[in-house]
Each structure stands twice: as C-alpha cells, then as structure tokens.
Copies of this chain bind each other. A is one copy, B any other.
Amino acid sequence: MHKLLHDLIIKNDKKIVLLVLDGVGGLPQKPGGKTELETARTPNLDKLAKESECGMHIPIDFGITPGSAPGHLALFGYEPLHYPIGRGVVAAMGIGFPMKPRDVAARMNFATQDENGNITDRRAGRIPTEKCAELCEILKKISIPGVEVSVKPVKDYRAVVVFRGEGLSDKVTDTDTQKTGVKPLDPEATAPEGEKTARLAKEFVKQTFQLLKDLSPTNACLLRGFAELPHIPSMQDLYKLNPLALAVYPDYRGVSRLVGMNVIEGIKDLDEEMKHLTENWNNYDFFFVHHKYTDSKGEDGNFEAKVKEIEKVDAVIHKIRALNPDVLIVTGDHSTPAVMKSHSGHPVPFLMNAKNIRSDDTDSFGERACARGIWGNIRTHVLIQLALSYADKIKKFGA
C-alpha cells in the first residue's frame, strides 16, 4: 500500500490537521451509562461531527490494546505490526531521548550481584528514580573510544543506554538472562554487522561494573532489547507532506520524529499548541496536535477529570476551524477508559471534516454515535489515506 500511495501522491498546498485526544475512547461507568466522551459537553465537536464523516478505528487489531507508539504510528499511516519498535527505542523515546538513525539503544536494569558475580536481584531492591539518576551520573565517566555513550534514568531501577557512532547495529544479544543466581551473559553479535556494537557493549558493561563495584546493592547492570530506530519511511517520502508536530509530552515528539515530522520543543499546554499552529500555518501542510491529559486522567481512573479534559479540547476547536483546514481529523490513538485505568483495545471514535465528503448526520461526537457513522469500524492506518484523498493529494489509480 505504501508503494501504491507513493506512486499516486501529488503534492499540493492543502492543509491537514490531525487533532489527537490521547486515549479519548472510553466506557460507561455503569452498564447502560455514557462514556467519558458521551458525557462531556462538547457543542463544538458535536457540530463538527454533524458536518463530518464519522466512524471508529482499530489501531492494531480486534481486541488488541495499543501502546502509545504503535497507536500513533497507525494514525500517521503506518501499519504498526509492520514497524515494531524495539524495547531499547521505546525506553529512549519514553524519556524523550533524541535518537538518530543508526543509534543503538538498550534497556538497562541496575541490579545486584554477589561475590561470585551471580545476579541476586535483577532490580537492585527497586531503588527509587533519584538513586537511579545519581548512578547514571556516575556512569558519565565511562569512556569508549569511537563511540558516544549516554546513560539516562527512566524510572526506579530502569535506565536506558544509547550508543552513537559509526558502524553500529542492534544485532546484539541481551546480557540479562532474566534469572537470578546466574552471571549476566556477554553481549554477542547475532550477525556480522553486530560485532562492533557487541564489543562496545561488552566494554560498557565492564566499565559499569568497575564504577559500581563498591555501591552494593547497585553493583551490577543488565542490558536487554538492543534496538535501532525502526526504518520507517518518512511522511515526506511517502506522502510528500511537510509535517509539524505540536505536543507537550516528549514521547509524542519522539514518535513524530520517527516518521520525519518537524517538532516544536518547549510547548507547555493546549493554548500554546494553538498559538504555534496559527503561527506556523503557512509553513507546513500537515499538523499533528496532541493533547495528553485525556489519557492521563483515564489512567488515573478519574472519569470526571477526563470529561473535563475533553471539554478543554472542545473549547479550542474554533481556533482550528478559524484557520480553515482542508481536512480536519479529530480522534484518539487508542481508548483509555477511566473504569479500566489503562489503555484498552476498544475501537476509537473519529470524525473527518473536509469539503468533498458525505457528512453522515452523526449528531454528537461519541463512541456509539460514531459507530453508526458512515465508516463503521476501519483500521487506523487508513485514516491518512482518506485525509490525503480529501485534500486532493492522491491521483487516480488506473485508466
């Protein structure tokens, strides 16, 4: 499909806005009740839905709960199962580390070993994040010729190490056996191109053990999930778009960079996102605008607070519409029902507004209303095709 799209895409100056309310999909608090989105007072989204084509989308597959990265990849038009993101990359993206192509990242645990070198605790007594940060500071002393090493705290005993240099590869095995009572393994290449990285990782581990040796219980480290950035074709290459990401949280700027988006750093809130959207309106033709807190409140299990976050987004819809985008999509990357306090596999409501559409009289922006919309249930990664089409960016296929 990417090949087909690439061949059919026309560049023009029409503008697409993808507004993502993270985790917007929800569930009723009681059987027969309303979801968060159905409960929220959203006059502007309701009016927009009535003037739009509506439906539900499924990011990964039926019943599969998406993580944030695959959920967003799908919204950007990438079948997430074709672009798995390795654990090291997930960890690096999770803390907003700006990985570059050919960088190799690995998840690191601070751990405890006994006098024989056997691991006794894979989590070093679950040290707090502050302690982890101190240890990462100590590891700044590590010096390996020809490679730049970054060790960053993630959470509790979890850290991430990123190697940057020439000729690196993620074809390297874990040192973490995921067992206690045994020594960590040496990192080994699983293909010739991994040999240099395996050697460097071995040296990294050696120096780390040296620096930690008197710091029991955190006198060891375990590495797993060596990963490069996935080789994802950029939105520029695929769709001839010039995309901009506006996101408060680093993870979402990270996943945006993966697909080649330009990113504005230091945005604090939705109002700033709207300001940057307006100011950059003439410089780009695709705008990803991300609102995080619908998901956060869902994860907290706070139904009412999630409702309020949806209402906050409703209150800025007029600012986006004032710019007169050629295509406006409003949706989420997955569902985060407050009653579940977690992401879920439920389909996600969307609306797509453009000039040449068949608006479907969906009279409110909600899960069950959108499920009766013109699109029914579709896969998330095809939304971009609809947007490109409605922005007259796809040529006819065949004669």
- What is the distance, in angstroms, from A196's C-beta to the closest C-beta of chain B? 27
The digit string for A60-88, where 1 denotes a CB below 8 A from any CB of B, is 11111111111100000000110011010
Whether A49 sits at the interface, judged by CB under 8 Å, is no
Residue A337 CB within 8 A of the other chain: yes
Q: Is A192's CB within 8 Å of the partner chain B?
A: no
Question: Which of A166-174, A276-284, A302-310, A366-374 binds B?
Answer: A366-374
Q: Which residue of B lies closest to A83 (CB)?
A: B398
Q: Determine whether A139 belongs to the interface, using a CB cutoff of 8 Å to chain B.
A: no
Determine if A66 and B343 form an interchain contact, defined as CB atoms under 8 angstroms apart.
no
CA distance A80 to B395 in the complex (A): 16
8 Å CB contact of A358 from B35, B94, B345: B35
Determine how close the nearest CB of chain B comes to the CB of A171; give it in whole angstroms. Answer: 21
Q: How far is the CA of A91 from the CA of B399 in the complex (A)?
A: 8
Given A345-B389, A377-B376, A386-B63; A398-B368 close (CB under 8 Å): no
Docked complex Cα distance between A394 and B61 (Å): 12
In the bound complex, do residue B85 and residue A398 qualify as a contact, i.e. CB atoms below 8 Å apart? yes
Report B-chain residues with C-beta under 8 Å of the C-beta of A340. Answer: 356
Q: Does B399 contact A85, Cβ atoms closer than 8 Å?
A: yes
A61 contact from B1, B84, B367, Cβ within 8 A: B1
In the bound complex, residues from chain B placing their C-beta under 8 Å from that of A371 are 358, 360, 374, 376
Q: Chain B residues with Cβ under 8 A from A212's Cβ?
A: none
Q: A385 interface residue, CB < 8 Å from B? A: yes
Chain B residues with Cβ below 8 Å from A1 are: 61
Is residue A204 within 8 Å, beta carbon to beta carbon, of the partner chain? no
Shortest A352–chain B CB gap in Å is 10
Please tell me how many copies of the chain the complex holds. 2
Q: Are A358 and B27 in contact (CB under 8 A)?
A: yes
Report how far A173 CA is from B62 CA in the complex, Å: 40
Secondary structure type dominating chain A contacts: loop
Q: Determine the distance from Cα of A63 to Cα of B389 in the docked complex, in whole angstroms.
A: 5
Contact B356 A61 (CB under 8 A): no
- Give min CB distance, A154 to chain B, whole Å: 11
Give the chain B neighbours of A337 by CB distance below 8 A: 356
Contact check, A63 vs B356: say whether CB atoms are below 8 A apart: no
A84 to chain B, nearest CB (A): 7
Interface string of A372-399 (1 = CB under 8 A from B): 1011111000100111111000111111
Cα A359 to Cα B357 in complex, Å, equals: 27
Establish whether residues B65 and A396, one from each chain, have CB atoms under 8 Å apart when the complex forms.
yes
A343 / chain B contacts, CB cutoff of 8 Å? 396
B356, A339: Cβ atoms under 8 Å? yes
Q: For residue A60, which residues in chain B have a CB less than 8 angstroms away from its CB?
A: 397
A121 within 8 A of partner (CB):
no
Are A63 and B382 interface neighbours, CB within 8 A? yes
B64 contacts A357, C-beta separation under 8 Å: no
Measured between alpha carbons, how far is A388 from B345 in the docked complex, in Å?
11
- With A64-B389, A64-B394, A358-B28 in contact, do A399 and B69 touch (Cβ < 8 Å)? yes
Which of B360, B367, B368, B394 meets A345, CB within 8 Å? B394
Flag whether A156 is at the interface (Cβ < 8 A): no
Report if A4 contacts B (CB, 8 A).
yes
Contact partners of A64 in chain B: CB under 8 A: 4, 8, 385, 389, 394, 397
* Closest beta carbon of chain B to A20's beta carbon, Å: 16
Which of chain B's residues have a CB closer than 8 A to the CB of A374?
A: 368, 371
The 8 A-B pairs at the shortest CB distance, nearest first, are namely A63-B389, A67-B398, A63-B385, A90-B399, A70-B398, A62-B382, A376-B376, A65-B396
